[in-house]
Amino acid sequence: MVTLDVTAVRSRFPALARSEGGRPVAYLDGPGGTQVAEMVVEAMAHRLRAGTSNLGGAFAASREADEVTAAAREAGADFVGGRPEEVAFGQNMTSLTFAVSRALARTWGPADEVVVTRLDHDANVTPWRLAAADRGAVLQVVDFDPADGTLDLTHLESVLGPRTRLLALTAASNALGTVPPVRWAADLAHAAGARVFVDGVHYAPHRLIDVVALGADFLACSAYKFFGPHAGLLWGRADLLESLEAYKVVPAPSMGPGKWETGTQSFESMAGVTAAVDYLAGLGEGGSRRERLAAAYAAIRRHEESLAGRFLAGVAAMPHLRLHGLADPARPAERTPTFALEVAGMSPDEAAHRLGVQGIHAWSGDYYAVGVMEHLGVAERGGLLRIGFVHYNTVEEVDRALEALAGLRAG
């Protein structure tokens, strides 16, 4: 069993050496974007220093771009448990989701229905809402239980039927940390004849993605959430990527994942994605990269669950804090170490500002989880304060955050 050496991990992230006001920065803003390992920085810098060109040329720099692209597809496939020919890249998860939504919408009609959940980031809601509106299809929105942030499974089951063409679902909520039963939902959707699009953005830094085990037809994530560069990754079943008509220019490939990649890609970012996957795999053991990733994520999960349990216990002892989401420490499999908090008598912006003055980086607002904030009734009050931990965070940072939160009592 692999054990995570957090001190060694932190030594590989240059940004973690940053200090403000004489104190080290505690990056507790991971749900909004993680820091990158040194090997990611070096891989991207090397690609830019060495020189690059576009794909398909009869010279060395172009051949290197081909190699970088192929390597990134292989790394992405290992990362999600798919095949290289099923992996496409783009600017971010949002742009890739819009691309797939436009393509899938061409197969819908006015009698069809599209199902999204209020638990999702808006990047997995609005593309489907707009696509449904373009085709006159009906949008069904599934609620979650505001008491604990869990998906309303009864509601979901009731809206899936023979008219359902798509279920869009997050693998983990970027606002509340909830991990819904994606495979259960996917099986229901498939039984109804629908496709399943999974938002893996918030899941990716915390759990090993397995597109087969999840029952996904498509999955999208962003590398800057799993210790890499600002680039989006799309996985899709090969038959669907081939059969759907992508919005593209005429000279773009008409086959394979290339038809989903509009224009020239960022080859330095692709090199960074490969390095990010290799960094994570390097935390584990095994014969293949996929095996090493599985071992690494098992270690990451044990460490993060320890941090989460400590944080939940600390928050529970502070009556001026209200945690929105699953608070039961005995149910770690159902959440990530991401916490949405309400501070009595204080706006989320003010709370985040006061933490920031102490060198603790945390987000406030809706984090683009618009439906979550509306359903919780906090949107008009500025949303919530979000604190999130990833594998490079420490017990000491948990305690530091709790001490700072204790000092946020009104007055």
Question: How high is the pLDDT of residue 32?
Answer: 97
Mean pLDDT of 279-299: 98
Eight-class DSSP state of 137? P
- Whether the CB-CB separation of 119 and 178 falls below 8 Å is answered with yes
Is the pLDDT at 241 greater than 60? The verdict is yes
Give the tokens for residue 248: 């593209």
Q: What is the CB neighbour count within 10 angstroms for residue 196?
A: 23
- Whether the CB-CB separation of 31 and 174 falls below 8 Å is answered with yes
Contacts for 95 with CB less than 8 Å, ≥ 6 apart: 232
Closest-CA residue to 411 (of 331, 334, 320): 320
Place of tokens 């290992």: 78
Mean pLDDT of the chain: 96
Tens-digit pLDDT profile for residues 338-357: 999 999 999 999 999 999 99
Place of tokens 């051949």: 63
The length of the chain in residues reads 411
- Whether the CB-CB separation of 395 and 307 falls below 8 Å is answered with yes
Return the percentage of the chain with pLDDT > 70, whole number: 100
Partnered with residue 19 across adjacent β-strands are: 24
Contacts for 324 with CB less than 8 Å, ≥ 6 apart: 146, 149, 176, 340, 341, 342, 376, 378, 384
Question: How high is the pLDDT of residue 52?
Answer: 85
DSSP E strands: which ranges in 291-409?
Answer: 321-324, 338-343, 360-361, 363-365, 384-388
Closest-CA residue to 177 (of 406, 331, 393, 346): 331
Question: Based on C-alpha coordinates, what's the Rg of the chain?
Answer: 21
Tens-digit pLDDT profile for residues 196-220: 999 999 999 999 999 999 999 999 9
Please report, for residues 242, 257, 264, the alpha-carbon distance to residue 254 in angstroms, rounded to integers and kept in the order given: 8, 9, 15
- Spatial distance between the Cα atoms of 79 and 261, rounded to a whole number of angstroms: 19
β-strands 19-20, 195-199 pairing: unpaired
Is the pLDDT at 411 greater than 70? The verdict is no
Partnered with residue 388 across adjacent β-strands are: 29, 338
pLDDT band at 410 (very low <50, low <70, confident <90, very high): low
Closest-CA residue to 241 (of 255, 253, 229): 255
- Spatial distance between the Cα atoms of 103 and 286, rounded to a whole number of angstroms: 39
- Whether the CB-CB separation of 343 and 321 falls below 8 Å is answered with yes
Weakest mean pLDDT among 48-57, 271-280, 304-313: 48-57
**Phi/psi-derived region of residue 143, left when phi > 0, alpha when psi is between -120 and 50, beta in every other case:** beta
- Whether the CB-CB separation of 71 and 269 falls below 8 Å is answered with no
- Spatial distance between the Cα atoms of 327 and 150, rounded to a whole number of angstroms: 11
Place of tokens 């974007």: 33
3-state secondary structure 211-273: HHHHCCCEEEEEHHHCCCCCCEEEEECHHHHHHCCCCCCCCCCCCCHHHHCCCCCCHHHHHHH
- Spatial distance between the Cα atoms of 295 and 298, rounded to a whole number of angstroms: 5
- Spatial distance between the Cα atoms of 59 and 393, rounded to a whole number of angstroms: 44
Run of H or E including 175: none
Mean pLDDT of 333-339: 97
Give the tokens for residue 154: 């009864």
Tens-digit pLDDT profile for residues 362-379: 999 999 999 999 999 999
Is the pLDDT at 263 greater than 60? The verdict is yes
Question: How high is the pLDDT of residue 173?
Answer: 98
Is the pLDDT at 63 greater than 80? The verdict is yes
Question: How high is the pLDDT of residue 79?
Answer: 98
Eight-class DSSP state of 53? -
What is the pTM assigned to this prediction?
0.97
Eight-class DSSP state of 59? S
Domains of the chain: 6-36+290-406 (3.90.1150.10), 42-281 (3.40.640.10)
